[in-house]
Amino acid sequence: MRNTMRILLKSPKFMFGFTLLVLVMGFVFIYPLFNRADPFEMVASGFDPPSSEHILGSDNFGRDVFLELAHGAQASLYVGLVAGVFATLIGLIIGLFAGYVGGMIDNVLTAINNMFIVIPPLVILILISIGLNNRSSLIVGLIIGFTAWPWTARAVRAQTASLRLRDHVNIAKISGYSTMRIILNDILPYLASYAFMAFILQTATGILEEASISMLGLGPYNTISLGTMLNWAMMFEAMGTGAWWAFIPPAIIIGIFTFSLYIINSGMDEVFNPKIRS
Amino acid sequence: MNPYVRYFLKRLGWSLITLTVAVMLNFLLPRMIKGNPVDTIVSSMTQGMTNQNDIKRVYETFEKEFGIDKPLWQQFFIYVGNIFRGDLGTSFGQYPKKVSTILANAIPWTLALQFPAIITGWILGNILGAVAAYRRKLFDKIVLPVSMAISSFPFFAFALIVLFFFSATLHWFPIGGGYSFDLIPTLSWQFIGSVLGHYALPFLTIVIVAIGGQAIGMRSMAIYELNADYILYAKLLGIRDRKVVRYVFRNAMLPQVTGLALQMGTMVGGALIAEIVFNYPGIGSSMFSAIRQLDYPLISGCTLMITFAVLIANFVIEVVYGLLDPRIKMAQLEDN
């Protein structure tokens, strides 16, 4: 474990992504501690340009964009984490079950999995969200997680199916351990590093999907998130009025979040799969 | 039976099953809400309406189109029957326009934008990735980090930034829309020129983001192949470099084709959101305005069309894949 950490800390990719993420998170969580104002409060007129008072100007409602950005990034991160945890959990459960049990159940689950990979996740997101009137950040995160699991399940299934044939699993079976215990003790540990990397990718996907669905106007209700900020900017023609401060900063923060998570993932990939390290 | 025909029929069967499931989801998911979904939708629809006739009109349209008094399974068959007749209902937001008419106007724009853009991005990305893998030092240091950075930007975030710099600030490109708003769609040179001018930026945005993702995938596939035993063997035999590269490229290509099929849904979804940023008159923008107006039949029509398009694209890619992969012709590959 310590060895892994040492390689990880030496990986330039991982460190770069990690530093970037920590810097953004630092701003996102520390700034609201100093500026305790309510981000919903209208402190200026609509689309005021950046000034010494409001670093990034105001949005269409006259709210402080800089403060909104910190609160919005928190909400987006929260949705992303909920989606990431939920998607990884479903993916693990379905993948482990299908891969370990095999046979008919595996065939059915794999078929369902392949279908959900092909059907656009955005469509399912829209179809579920449209019927829910009071969407909290938690609900949005859960819905996104519900559409994002197939990739994880697919990879977990493939690995479980090959792990199942290993000797130590056979010994555990002969010893009469329950299926549950074999999966948890003899298979899951081999997948732990993969599951963690999948979780990081799923979180990035979650942040991205939150922004997409909010952009369409189906985001968390009464919440400032990076996506809802973009939605307001689009609805109130920020592009046409030249109010770049209303949409460029949230777009960049979304990009930084996903980029740093991707690069952390790719750095970890090189540590856990020495083959590609070369 | 000819193994390829068998493969073809199998894929066709799976596509049809997936299509059925997708149509069922389209029908079922919005109806799973507690209470009568139509009541919920109609009450929020009619919230701002004061005219009793308007409210009645919305109710009647709904009742007729969804048959809400009948049991769910009967409603489903009405729904499927309507789809087969090409009847997707009447739009609320643009009453009394038919949803199918609105979609028929939007689909060509989306197809003409996304199809060429995704394919171009895919081809360029694969070439770039293969070159990066082969010329490790030179390209790798530049191509990989840049690809990583660009491909991790979602389409719409990239679109926002690009649109702001190149259109709103530099005025190189128009600021959005499918054509100049002072023109009437006709087959004149002026109109075609305007369409192409508006087309350039959305097209380039999708291509550039797609290139990044594909290049990363192709690079690692090609490196994997370059380290394979058969390459070492081929080199020991003294086969020319050019020929070896061709083997590598062909083998690394196959997973990329499958990858394109699997990513299609995500890519199309992302590009649809980018449409909103560009205010492009396609399905994405239709859906955006439909959601704002709670135009339920139009939303449902849009999601259905997106699913159809993605599933068809998927099927076509799988058919092509069958032609490319000799293992399928030899029927050695049973599944996947």
ipTM for the whole complex: 0.83
- Cβ under 8 Å to B: A residues 141-200: none
- Measured in degrees and rounded to the nearest 5, phi and psi for residue A267 equal -65, -40
H-run or E-run covering A52: none
pLDDT of residue B84: 86
Q: Which residues of chain A have pLDDT under 70?
A: 1, 274-278
DSSP state of A42: B
Q: Give me the CATH code for the A14-28+58-277 domain, please.
A: 1.10.3720.10
Residue B222, amino acid: A
Does B288 contact A217 at a Cβ distance shorter than 8 Å? yes
- Measured in degrees and rounded to the nearest 5, phi and psi for residue B98 equal -80, 145
Does A252 contact B157 at a Cβ distance shorter than 8 Å? yes
Does B299 contact A123 at a Cβ distance shorter than 8 Å? no
Residue B163: list chain A partners with CB under 8 A: 239
Whether the Cβ atoms of residue B67 and residue B74 lie closer than 8 Å to each other: yes
| CA-based max dimension of chain A | 73
Question: Which residue is closest to A256 within chain B, CA to CA?
Answer: B153
Q: How far apart are CA A93 and CA A179, in angstroms?
A: 13
Task: Compute CA distances B53 → B46, B50, B90, B98, whole Å.
Answer: 11, 9, 17, 20
| CA-based max dimension of chain B | 85
Distance in Å, alpha carbon of B33 to nearest chain A alpha carbon:
6
Distance in Å, alpha carbon of A196 to nearest chain B alpha carbon:
19
Question: Which residue is closest to A110 within chain B, CA to CA?
Answer: B336
Question: Domain residues of chain A, as ranges?
Answer: 14-28+58-277
DSSP state of A58: B
pLDDT of residue A278: 47
Residue B14: list chain A partners with CB under 8 A: 111, 114
pLDDT of residue B336: 44
Does B157 contact A263 at a Cβ distance shorter than 8 Å? no
Task: Compute CA distances B281 → A227, B127, B275, B286, whole Å.
Answer: 22, 32, 8, 7
pLDDT of residue B29: 82
Is A217 an 8 Å CB contact of chain B? yes
Whether the Cβ atoms of residue A224 and residue A75 lie closer than 8 Å to each other: yes
Q: What is the pLDDT along chain B (336 residues), one digit of tens a residue?
A: 677 888 888 889 989 999 999 998 888 887 766 555 566 566 666 666 666 777 777 777 766 666 666 777 787 888 888 888 888 877 877 767 888 889 998 899 899 999 999 999 999 998 888 888 877 776 677 777 787 788 778 888 888 888 888 877 777 877 777 776 666 666 677 777 777 778 888 899 889 888 888 888 888 888 888 888 888 888 889 888 888 888 888 888 888 888 888 888 888 888 888 888 888 888 999 998 888 887 788 888 899 999 999 999 999 998 888 888 777 665 544 544
Q: How far apart are CA A40 and CA B292, in angstroms?
A: 21
Report which of B191, B188, B167 is spatially closest to residue B178, judged by C-alpha positions: B191
Q: pTM of the predicted model, to two decimals?
A: 0.85
Does B270 contact A117 at a Cβ distance shorter than 8 Å? no
Which of B155, B273, B294, B336 to mutate to test binding with chain A, by most A CBs within 10 Å of its CB? B273
First CA to last CA across chain A, in angstroms? 21
Q: How far apart are CA B204 and CA B121, in angstroms?
A: 9
Residue of A120, A216, A244 lying closest to B287 (CB–CB): A216
- Cβ under 8 Å to B: A residues 219-248: 230, 234-235, 239-240, 242, 244, 247-248
Distance in Å, alpha carbon of A176 to nearest chain B alpha carbon:
33
Q: How far apart are CA A91 and CA A262, in angstroms?
A: 19
Residue of B22, B156, B314 lying closest to A215 (CB–CB): B156
Report which of A197, A191, A122 is spatially closest to residue A157, judged by C-alpha positions: A191
Question: Buried b vs exposed e over A155-190: b needs ≥16 C-beta within 10 Å?
Answer: bbbebbbebbeeeebeebeeeebeeeebbeebbbee
Residue B249 CA to its chain's centroid (Å): 26
The three-class DSSP label of residue A227 is helix
- Measured in degrees and rounded to the nearest 5, phi and psi for residue A192 equal -55, -45
Which of B27, B151, B156 to mutate to test binding with chain A, by most A CBs within 10 Å of its CB? B156
Residue B287: list chain A partners with CB under 8 A: 126, 216
Question: Which residue is closest to B279 within chain A, CA to CA?
Answer: A234
